[in-house]
Structure 1
Amino acid sequence: MVNLLGGKGANLAEMTKLGLPVPSGFTITTEVCTHFYNNNKFPNHLEKEVKKAISRMESDMGMLFGDEENPLLVSVRSGARKSMPGMMETVLNLGLTTKTIPGLIHKTKNERFV
């Protein structure tokens, strides 16, 4: 499973399978990367699957991605078979925009946090 999901993705999948509390999320497999390298485009099904996964996360979290009043923010983490701290890119707070900031400030009552 590590070859398909990377170390972090495989560990999260195993923890989910065991019923441990894991934040809602999804993993895009290495097959997608291979397809992109071989075809210079993403697989046709990817956009539909990602939208479905985001919809499930929205339901789990009770928030909506891009919503101005109750925005869902996500992190995007890359993974590899072996742990390489600091070597892989991470994108935090994806979904934080000029439109979602006011809603998050109102929700948290903490402008500095946002």
Structure 2
Amino acid sequence: MTRGIRGATTVPENDKDLIIAYTKELLEKMIAENDIHPSNVSHIFISATKDINAAFPAQALRKIEGWKYVPVMCMAEMDVPNSLSKCIRIMMVVDTERKQEEINHVFLHDAVQLRPDLVKGD
């Protein structure tokens, strides 16, 4: 079954190293919490708010061993008034046997406010 796994994080500033580091942190947590293997990933979409442009967040994926061939695309997030700033969102499409309610969506830093109903305590 194909499932989508959501993730989101925020960065403290529009800095290349921070964008890549925070995105990598998010990706690694999504991978670990859902036991994802790159061969089971169809593709990954990454969006960023307009105030993030110092780097492509997708560069973080290339820093994770074994993920070289996973298709990934960055795009701009909709610019909705009063929405969360400096936010990076990920939609990872995977082949998994997990039921919808067994998927662990990951929200880090200020992004926990996007879906508090899906945030699980550590």
- Compute the TM-score of the two structures, normalised by the length of structure 2: 0.25
Structure number with the higher strand fraction is 2
- Compute the TM-score of the two structures, normalised by the length of structure 1: 0.26
**Greater relative contact order (CA < 8 Å, ≥ 6 in sequence):** 2
Structure number with the higher helix fraction is 1
